[in-house]
Amino acid sequence: MKKFLIAISLLGILFIAAGYFIGDYFVTFALKRENNQPPQATANIADPDLKPPARPNFDSEIWTIQSADNLNLHATYFLPSNTSHRWAVLVHGYGREQTFAFDYAEEYLKHGYNVLTPDLRASGTSEGIFLTMGALESQDIKIWCEKIIERDPQAEIILHGVSMGAATVLMASALDIKNLRAVVEDCGYTSAYEMFSAQLEKIFGLPEFPIMNIVDIVSKIKTGVAISDAAPILSVPNTKVPTLFIHGDADKLVPFEMLDKLYNASNAPVKEKFVVEGAGHADSKIKDPPKYFERVFNFIDRF
């Protein structure tokens, strides 16, 4: 009997060790920045050959903040040609950094907005080892907004994010950010857990259970938050600002049906959907830039 209990205990230890190894592999693969390079999964999810757009030809400053967990985060503040109290915080996507928001920044600047383009944690020149898919990034965005209000107490702030950036701004919209007027989310996911579950099967041919359950536990240990904590679907019922939901109906990464799930769950006082036919993931702007920004500005300028 004693030998049997020892054998069972050893098997339990081996099972736990194997589970942690699997979870650690996937957390590293999907969330960890190493040698100043984005997570390895970026190559499977984002176009590795995509080049960042040109830097806007407007005066700029480098801003820094400290996150709640003591990371030094960086952003670029672009000044419009004329003084304005309108501000846009433009939030980049998974595996990218702020330069990939520069083409959005150009349009906002031409439209008279002050623009802030942050490097999210573990991205670009900001500190950090792990992405948290919006869970902690949304709290960082709130700190950036507080810094804007220090600069301009009359600031009227818009948040606009794409992909992981969209998930980030949706989660931030539930944090009661002072002077926040509206949010634009472009191809955000309902939850990182649900999105990664789909990619797990697509890339590795593995089932959600028990892999994602293990990854969820290990991500909590390694990053301080679980993958399942990055869940805009749980945040949007608490948002109090107008929200524009954008999604391409040919999105293969963040399923198109997530648009309706987020929209229906949102308690935004004003909400609209903008479906871009034939657009893949994060390609809604590329499909028809004039139409895209016309729809964006027609929405946010009301608030």
Residue-wise pLDDT tens digits, 95-111: 999 999 999 999 999 99
Reported pTM: 0.94
How do residues 160-169 score in pLDDT, each as one tens digit?
A: 999 999 999 9
The average confidence (pLDDT) of the chain is: 92
Task: Burial-class residue 191 by CB neighbours within 10 Å (0-12, 13-18, 19+).
Answer: buried
Range 174-187 burial, b when 16+ CB lie within 10 A, else e: beebebbbbbbbbb
Summarize pLDDT for 27-42 with one digit per residue, the tens: 999 999 999 899 988 8
User: How many CA atoms lie less than 13 Å away from 138 in the CB half-sphere?
Assistant: 25
Q: How confident is the model at residue 205 (pLDDT cuts 50, 70, 90)?
A: confident
- What is the predicted pLDDT for the residue at 202? 76
Share of the chain above pLDDT 90, in %: 81
- Phi/psi for 107 (5° steps) reads -70, -40
Please state, in angstroms and as integers, the Cα–Cα distance from residue 232 to each residue in 93, 152, 166, following that order: 15, 29, 9
Q: Output the CA–CA distances (angstroms, integers) from residue 16 to 7, 32, 214, 221, in the order listed.
A: 14, 22, 10, 14
CB-CB contact of 49 with 37 (8 Å): no
What pLDDT score does 297 carry?
Answer: 98
- Across the range 132-144, mean pLDDT stands at 98
Residue 91's pLDDT band (cuts 50, 70, 90): very high
Position 291 scores a pLDDT of 97
pLDDT at 4: 45
In this model, does residue 233 exceed pLDDT 50? yes
For the domain made up of 53-191+230-300, the CATH class stated in words is alpha beta
pLDDT at 14: 47
pLDDT tens-digit readout, 108-117: 999 999 999 9
Confidence at 12, pLDDT banded by 50, 70, 90: very low
At residue 208, the pLDDT reads 82
Q: How far is the C-alpha of 174 from the C-alpha of 190, rounded, in Å?
A: 14
pLDDT of residue 50: 78
The 10s digit of each residue's pLDDT in 262-278 is: 999 999 999 999 999 99
Question: For the chain, which residues make up each domain, given as ranges?
Answer: 53-191+230-300
Q: Is the pLDDT of residue 19 over 90?
A: no
Q: Is 59 exposed, middle or buried (0-12, 13-18, 19+ CB in 10 A)?
A: exposed
How confident is the model over 230-258, as a mean pLDDT? 96
